[in-house]
Each structure stands twice: as C-alpha cells, then as structure tokens.
Amino acid sequence: MVLQKTLLAASRRPGLRRMVTGNSATRRVVDRFVAGETLDDALSAVEALAADGVRVTLDHLGEDVTTRTGAEHSRDAYLAALEGLARLGLGDRAEVSVKLSAFGQALPGGHDIALELVRPVVEAATAAGTTVTLDMEDHRTVDSTLAVLAELRTQHPGTGAVLQAMLFRTEDDAKALAVPGSRVRLVKGAYNEPPEVAHRARKDVDAAYARCLEILMAGPGYPMVGSHDPSMVTRAHELAAQHSRAADSWEVQMLYGIRPDEQRRLAAAGTRVRAYVPYGVDWYAYFVRRLAERPANVGFFLRSLLTR
Ligand code: FDA
C-alpha cells in the first residue's frame, strides 16, 4: 500500500521518466504496456490483435494538459487515429478511449473546452461507424465527465463511460447509467483517492466491483467488464448466463500487454474481448499507474534498471 501510494504520487512527477528514457532495458518494460510512440506503431498492434479476434480501444497517451493548444493537439491526434482506424476497416471492433484532462478539462472553463474539443472526435467516430469511451480520472472530475457524457449521448448514444468501483458514489452512478444502449466500462479504479470518497482495502474494492457488476449485467445497457481479475471475469460470465445475455451484449476489456494469452483464449471461446491499447510519447503517468497496480512489475522494472 505504501509502495502503491508512492508510485501513484510519482506518476504526477517527471523524475522517474528521466530514469527510464534512454535506457533500452527499462524501455522494454515500458514497451510491454505501451504499443509504441507513433500512430503507425499503434495501428500495427491493432492489426495483430484483430487477427487474434481481439477488439481494440485506442488511447492516445496524454493527460493533464495545461494549455488550450495542448488540448487541441489531443483532438487532432484522435482525429488522425480515427482516420487510421477507418483505413483498417474494422468498424466498431476498433474504437478510441479519451481522457478529458487531455482535452483541457482542468483549464479555467475546462468543462466547456473539453466538451467543445471532444465533440468533433465523437462525430468522426460516428462517421467511421465506431465509438468513443470517456476514461474516468480522479474523483474530482467525475461530475464533469458524466455531464459531458450525458451531453454527447443526446446525439451519439454509443458514447461510453468508465465507472470506478472504488468510489462510494459508483453504485448510484451504475444504476443511473444502466439504461438501454448505455456502454459502461466498470473498473476497480487506478487513482490514489482519499478515504472520504473511496474504498481503500482491496477486499472492499472487490466487493464493490461485484455489486456494480450485478447492477450493470442485470440492466439493459452494454456492460464492459474492465478487469484482469479472474474472479471478476468468471462472475461476469455467471451473471451473463443468469440474465440470458447474448454474447454480443457485453464484453471483457483488458489492458494491452496484461494477460494477453487470456485475452486470446477468451476471444477464441466466444467472449467479446477488447484490449485497451495506449500509444504516444506521453507514456509516463500511464506506465507508473501500471507499476502501482502490481508489485511484481516494480521488481521486474527495478531489475531492468540494474541491467542497463
Ligand atoms: P487487480 O488489480 O486486483 O488484479 C487482478 C489480477 O490481474 C492480478 O492478480 C494479476 O494477475 C493481473 N494484473 C492486474 N494488473 C496487472 C498489471 N499491471 N500487470 C500484470 N498483471 C496485472 N482505471 C481508471 O481509474 N480509469 C479508467 O478509465 C480506467 N480504464 C481502464 C480500461 C481498461 C480496459 C482496464 C482493464 C482498466 C482500466 N483502468 C482504469 C484500470 C483499473 O482501474 C485497474 O487499476 C486495473 O484494471 C487493475 O485492476 P484489475 O481489475 O485488473 O484487478
């Protein structure tokens, strides 16, 4: 828990980044979780996954932008990504995930800026026959992100959102979003949240995840089970059977590079599986959150530093 808190704090500081960049051994650890720095790298990863029957949501890395220009850059990067995906002709088997902090959400007037800049991305996705999912960041952004979602869904009902089971509010949010056509990715939550707003103990987060999963799987929406946890994936299959859900009415989502064999196995066995594929030069905060989730990865990473 102490290591996790330290790493999550480090994800907002550039020090570790300097240690990793330029070191080929540590770079290989980053490459396990990040598909590359360019759109071409990402599209190659998308094609490889698609060949294995695994769907994709593409994430152009970047968050917490501090200028409008930076936010416009995110919009443009996503428009280029959607053009690239359209060329692959995968339809909704390849969509995109966006962080609204990359679209200026934290700037003064940021809610409106993020909505203005993400709208053309959602329009381009609809035109390409696919969708956008709004990632969820720390708890202070949830109201704004859900309000952007509600606005976008009036014209683009396929726009999806993420709910974090660790937040106390999430069961209510899951009930509100369990409506027809609603795409909701349920995750445990990757941010270092204070005890006033979130479960902190793993067993409490897991119990909350299971409760939210029941709400979403029982409802008329499209649940996206974002977890590598075998017990949650098994529970999702049990609930799908219990509620007579068709195989195309829900999906499992996992991160690029985490349990890839299981992603392929589930897809081959008939479960819809989507990998979340991050790419871009701004990989640092994403990478450190992945280390924080799993002490074994920190050991792997530290050993690679010693073998430079
Ligand atoms: P948990 O962490 O309990 O791990 C269960 C098992 O999975 C582990 O025992 C291990 O076997 C494997 N595993 C998990 N993490 C691993 C890792 N890093 N390396 C190797 N093995 C690992 N969060 C958020 O706050 N906002 C968001 O928008 C998103 N978006 C998102 C999209 C998708 C598709 C996924 C899968 C996850 C997210 N997350 C997220 C991250 C999420 O909140 C959570 O931090 C991670 O998924 C880890 O939680 P698990 O449910 O996998 O279980």
* 76 carries an active-site annotation: no
In 3D space, the residue among 57, 135, 71, 151 whose CA is nearest the CA of residue 98 turns out to be: 135
- Share above pLDDT 90 across residues of the chain, in percent, rounded to a whole number: 80
As annotated, the binding site for FAD includes 136, 164, 188-190, 227-228
The maximal CA–CA distance of the chain, rounded, in angstroms, is: 53
Whether residue 22 is predicted with pLDDT greater than 70 in this model: the reply is no
Report the run of H or E that residue 40 belongs to, with start and end: helix 39-51
280 sits in the region (left: phi over 0; alpha: psi -120 to 50; else beta) called left
Q: Which residues contact 131 (CB under 8 A, 6 or more apart)?
A: 92, 95, 125, 156, 158, 159, 160, 183
Using CA atoms, how far residue 205 sits from 29, 68, 165, 252, in Å, is: 28, 36, 6, 19
Does ipTM surpass 0.90 in this model? Answer: yes
φ, ψ dihedrals at 273, nearest 5°: -125, 135
Whether residue 244 is predicted with pLDDT greater than 70 in this model: the reply is yes
Given 75, 93, 183, 185, which residue is catalytic? 185
Where does residue 213 rank: exposed (0-12), middle (13-18), buried (19+ CB within 10 A)? buried
Report pLDDT digits (tens) over 104-136: 999 999 999 999 999 999 999 999 999 999 999
The answer, yes or no, to whether any atom of ligand 1 lies below 6 A from the CB of 164, is yes
Whether residue 308 is predicted with pLDDT greater than 50 in this model: the reply is no
Which amino acid does the sequence have at 55? R
**Residue with CA nearest ligand 1 atom 20:** 258
Domains of the chain: 1-34+283-308 (no CATH), 35-282 (3.20.20.220)
Report pLDDT digits (tens) over 39-98: 999 999 999 999 999 999 999 998 889 999 999 999 999 999 999 999 999 999 999 999
Q: Which residues contact 189 (CB under 8 A, 6 or more apart)?
A: 136, 164, 165, 166, 167, 198, 205
Distance 108 CA to ligand 1 centre (A): 31
Name the pTM for this structure.
0.93
The answer, yes or no, to whether any atom of ligand 1 lies below 6 A from the CB of 228, is yes
**Residue with CA nearest ligand 1 atom 21:** 258
The answer, yes or no, to whether any atom of ligand 1 lies below 6 A from the CB of 213, is no
In order, the DSSP letters of 126-186 are HHTT--EEE---SGGGHHHHHHHHHHHHHH-TT-EEEEETTBTTHHHHHHHH-STT-EEEE
In this prediction, residues 152-160 reach a mean pLDDT of 98
Distance 293 CA to ligand 1 centre (A): 7
26-35, 52-61, 135-144 — which is least confidently predicted? 26-35
